[in-house]
Every structure is written in C-alpha cells, then in structure tokens.
Amino acid sequence: MAKHSDDVRDGFTSKFGIICAAAGSAIGLGNIWRFPYVVGDSGGGAFLLIYLGFIVLLGIPVMLSEFIIGRRGQRNAFGSFKRLAPGKPWYLVGVMGIVAAFMILAFYSTIAGWTLHYVIQSFANTFAGKTSTEITRIFEDFHTQAFLPLLWQIIFLAMTAWIIFSGVKKGIEKYTKVLMPFLVLLLIIMAIRSVTLEGSYEGVLFLFKPDFSAVDSGVLLAALGQAFFSLSIGMGALITYGSYIGKQNNLGNIAVEVSLADTLIAILAGVAIFPAVFAFGLDPAEGPGLIFTVLPNIFHQMPGGYFFSIIFFVLLAIAALTSSISILEVVVAYLTEELNLTRHKATFMAVIAAAFVGIFCTLSFGTLKNITISELGIFGLLDFTASNLLLPLGGLLIVVFVGWYMKKKDVKEEVSNRGTLKVRFFDVLRFILKFIAPVAIAIVLFDSLGIIDRLTG
Ligand code: PHE
C-alpha cells in the first residue's frame, strides 16, 4: 500500500519543485475559460472584488491547510485524514474530494476537447476573414454536434491518462516551466490588443467598475466556487501535493505565491476578454462558450494573429493538461491505496469512468440539450455541484479540521518547519482558520441553498 503512494509521490517534486506542480494544477481552464465566463454571468466588477476578497481571506488559508494536512499526513487526501485522525470519520472529506475530482474531470475534458479542436482550427486558419457573427456560428455548429467534441474529449482524456501512468509528467513539467511564462506573455499582448480596440472601454468598466446592486447569494456562491475551482482547493489535490513538499519548504510562502500567480492570470484573462467582448458587440453572459467566440476575433485584429492563435490554444491545452493530471491523480491515488489496484489499472478505470460521465457532459450542449434540472443541463449541473457545492463544503471541513481538530502545536510545527521559520502571522492564521473562514464559507454556502432562510424563517 505504502509503495503505491510513494510511487505517486516521487514524480512531481523530486526534480521540478512543488511550486511548479501546484501552480500547474491551479493555472488552467479555470483561469482562462471559466473565470471570464463566470464574471460575465455574474455582472462584472462587483463579482471581481468579491472574488479577490475570497481568494485572500478563504482561498489562501484553505490552500495552506491542505498543504499542512498533506505534509503532516504524508499520504494522499484520503490517507492523510486517516493517518491524522485514526478511527474518526474525517477520511470522508477525502472521499468527497474523490467524487468531486471525478465530476470535474468529466466536464473539464469537454472544454479541454474544445481547446484541442481550436488548435486545429487555428492551424487551418478557419476564422480568417470571418465576421464575429460567423465566428459565433462556427462555434455553435461545432459544440452542439456529437462526433468532433466527443473525439477531442476522448483524445484529451487519453493524453491525461497517458501522462499519469507513463511518468511523462516529468517531461511535461519541464516544458511547463518554460511554456507557462509564454502563456502569460501572450495574455499580456492579447490584453493590450483588447483594450486598444475601438469600443472596448465599456468592457474595462464592466470588469473594474463594481455595481453591487446585482449581488445576491447566487453571485456570492459563484465567486466562492470560482475561487476554489481556480485554486484547485477543496478536494484534496493539494493535500496530495502537500505530501510531496520537503520539510524545509515554507508552506505559507508557497500558498501565497501560487494563489497570487493564479489570480494574476485570471485577471489578465479578464482584461483580454471583456474589452473585446464589448468592442465586438458580443454578450458577456453568453456562458461556457465565451472565450471560443471572443478570442478568434482578437487574433484577427493582431499582426501575426495566425501564429498567436496557434500558440495560444496549444499553451491553453497544455495548461489544461497540467491541471487535469492533478485531478486524475486524486482518484488514482485513492484507488491504488484503498483498493490496492496497480497504477495502470487504477488510471485505466478512473479515466474510463470519467469518460463515461464526460460523454454526457459533452452531448448536453447538443443531442442531450433537453435534459435539464432547474434550468441546468448535465454539464452545468456537474459543474455547479462540484465547483459550487462540493469544493466549498470540502474547504469548510478542511479549515475546521486544521483549526479545531488538529493540535495548535502540530499546526504551528508544520507552518514554522519545527520552529525554524518565524511565523508572525500565526495567530492571525489561526483566528481565520478557527472562525472567519468556516463561518464565511458556511454562510455563503448555506445562504445560497436557502438553508439559512429556512432556519430563521
Ligand atoms: N484549478 C484548475 C484550473 O483552474 C482546475 C482544478 C480544480 C484542478 C480542482 C484541480 C482541482 O483549471
């Protein structure tokens, strides 16, 4: 049993460092695809401010807590809880994380598949000379059909599985280190192009001028879910990674740096998208297709746009891969430890099962469009349940575990590397973990579910 988990542990850290792995997990479609569309759906500026508040007040403490649990437990999400709280039901937090990982992988691979398709379309120069209406129509035709989106989804899942079991992740990470700064550079260039388009100012206002009149409990929950999704927290991915972190590393620093990088990239994506949305007269609230209808328009208006477009979608697909492997890893680590499966078998089973659910997600944009529950299709339902319910609930239990269950001395030992680091922020951290974070997450979560109303009403 231990052998499997040690296999899992080796790959990431030894050579390329935990920051790289954790940032690779955090930075992905969540920043560039999901963030802009959720901001658009949720009304812009006010959402952004709330989101930033949640990142600082809740996101960083939850991330740090996951690292603490993982490094102290020296196991994956499930095993770490079992070790730190033997005989107690805390391991169920790990089980919940596995369920969430599974759901996220299913819908994540739909969008990653679209990204792969857009790599090919960029090569083929499909969007050259097209108006923004035509670009939108091309996207509509593509994502509502069955065959191509499914094909790309399966290809993406196969790539994820292949990396997980062949150990190529080392190679991938080596490249990621060089490639991700490129992605940032490209986003900066695109952002500059976007804000200099005619008619873009309204988009800048949309993103940065808060209008709190539209904020309701649904918007708060969307911001919380987006913060957790983007930081890869609440389901134990970073507990697993935390167990790879060396005893000499500063957990607090890592949490802050990864969160900062993740947030900057999301904002950059927002600055690239919204000015262009308004310049081209598109709808900011159009949903999950937003970047696929907006970005080709931007590339159009850029010198060298043909190449930019290819490079961008390739980099986005790679960013998606470094995130999806961290999601699959949660499931695989569980299967190898709990059911004693070999790594190959576990990966194979997990990815087949994710593909099965994923197929329904992909088809829910076309063939299965009519299957809905309270206005959400299959895709939306899985995304909502995993990102907005399971991740916050997981995060809540994680901070309660570190704030209330673990001994203060043990937590301090982990954060301060056995007293070798000065942690002046420790009392603040402890206060946040004990009171602020659990209360805030609980209020947002339960309020939006109507539970508070029911209790007080
Ligand atoms: N944070 C990743 C992204 O932004 C997605 C993810 C969610 C990864 C949850 C792991 C856990 O794309």
User: For tokens 């575990």, what's the residue?
Assistant: 401
pLDDT (tens digit per residue) in 123-145: 999 999 999 999 999 999 999 99
Using alpha carbons, select from 274, 334, 322 the residue that is nearest to residue 298.
274
CB of 293 sitting under 6 A from ligand 1 = no
Structure tokens that stand for 287 in this block: 């949903």
Sequence letter at residue 167: G
Give residue 15's pLDDT: 37
Residue that wins the pLDDT comparison between 115 and 447 = 115
Give residue 2's pLDDT: 38
Give residue 5's pLDDT: 43
CA 193 distance to own-chain centroid? 26
d(CA 74, CA 68): 10
d(CA 315, CA 122): 13
pLDDT (tens digit per residue) in 202-213: 999 999 999 999
SS (H, E, C) 209-245: CCCHHHCCHHHHHHHHHHHHHHHCCCCCHHHHHHCCC
Q: Long-range contacts made by residues 133-136, C-beta under 8 angstroms, separation at least 24?
A: 135/293, 135/296, 135/297, 136/282, 136/293
Q: pLDDT at residue 38 above 60?
A: yes
CB of 387 sitting under 6 A from ligand 1 = no
d(CA 439, CA 377): 31
Residue that wins the pLDDT comparison between 419 and 448 = 419
Using alpha carbons, select from 97, 22, 78 the residue that is nearest to residue 391.
97
CB of 297 sitting under 6 A from ligand 1 = no
Atom of ligand 1 nearest to the CA of 31: 4
Ligand 1: distance of its center to the CA of 400 in Å?
22
Task: Quote the mean pLDDT of the chain.
Answer: 91
CB of 62 sitting under 6 A from ligand 1 = no
The b-or-e profile of 28-47 (16+ CB within 10 A means b, else e) is bbbbbbbbbbbbbbbbbbbb
d(CA 316, CA 230): 14
CB of 235 sitting under 6 A from ligand 1 = yes
d(CA 154, CA 96): 25
> Which of 33, 327, 328 is the pocket-test mutation for ligand 1 (most atoms within 8 Å of CB)?
327
CB of 386 sitting under 6 A from ligand 1 = no
Atom of ligand 1 nearest to the CA of 100: 9
Sequence letter at residue 87: G
pLDDT (tens digit per residue) in 69-102: 999 998 889 999 999 999 999 999 999 999 999 9
Using alpha carbons, select from 4, 1, 12, 5 the residue that is nearest to residue 241.
12
Ligand 1: distance of its center to the CA of 408 in Å?
30
Ligand 1: distance of its center to the CA of 28 in Å?
6
Ligand 1, atom 2: nearest CA belongs to which residue? 26
Ligand 1: distance of its center to the CA of 413 in Å?
28
CB of 326 sitting under 6 A from ligand 1 = yes
Ligand 1: distance of its center to the CA of 422 in Å?
31
CA 394 distance to own-chain centroid? 15
Contact residues for 24 (Cβ-Cβ < 8 A; gap 6+): 173, 176, 180, 319, 322, 323, 326
Structure tokens that stand for 228 in this block: 């957790």
Give residue 7's pLDDT: 43
What Cα–Cα distance (Å) separates residue 361 from each residue in 63, 344, 372, 447? 28, 25, 12, 28
CB of 132 sitting under 6 A from ligand 1 = no
Domains of the chain, first to last: 6-383 (1.10.4160.10)
Coil, strand or helix: which one is 415? helix
CA 438 distance to own-chain centroid? 21
Using alpha carbons, select from 375, 377, 382, 349 the residue that is nearest to residue 363.
377
d(CA 100, CA 229): 11
pLDDT (tens digit per residue) in 225-264: 999 999 999 999 999 888 878 888 899 999 999 999 999 9
Give residue 9's pLDDT: 47
Give residue 140's pLDDT: 97
Atom of ligand 1 nearest to the CA of 30: 4
Using alpha carbons, select from 44, 32, 36, 31 the residue that is nearest to residue 205.
44
User: For tokens 């192009």, what's the residue?
Assistant: 193
Q: pLDDT at residue 306 above 60?
A: yes
CB of 240 sitting under 6 A from ligand 1 = no
DSSP-based helix, strand, coil % in the chain, nearest 5: 80, 0, 20
Ligand 1, atom 11: nearest CA belongs to which residue? 232
With bands split at pLDDT 50, 70 and 90, how would you rate the model's confidence at 170?
Answer: low
> Please, are residues 346 and 336 in contact by the beta-carbon 8 Å criterion?
yes
Average pLDDT over residues 209-223: 93
Give residue 3's pLDDT: 40
Ligand 1, atom 6: nearest CA belongs to which residue? 232
CB of 104 sitting under 6 A from ligand 1 = yes
CB of 323 sitting under 6 A from ligand 1 = yes
Structure tokens that stand for 448 in this block: 């939006």
* % of the chain surpassing 90 pLDDT: 79
Give residue 11's pLDDT: 43
With bands split at pLDDT 50, 70 and 90, how would you rate the model's confidence at 181?
Answer: confident
Contact residues for 380 (Cβ-Cβ < 8 A; gap 6+): 364
Full-model pTM = 0.94
Q: What is the DSSP string of 52-106?
A: HHHIIIIIHHHHHHHHHHHHHHTS-HHHHHHHHSTTSTTHHHHHHHHHHHHHHHH
Ligand 1: distance of its center to the CA of 371 in Å?
26
Q: pLDDT at residue 311 above 70?
A: yes
CB of 28 sitting under 6 A from ligand 1 = yes
Coil, strand or helix: which one is 27? coil
> Please, are residues 327 and 100 in contact by the beta-carbon 8 Å criterion?
no
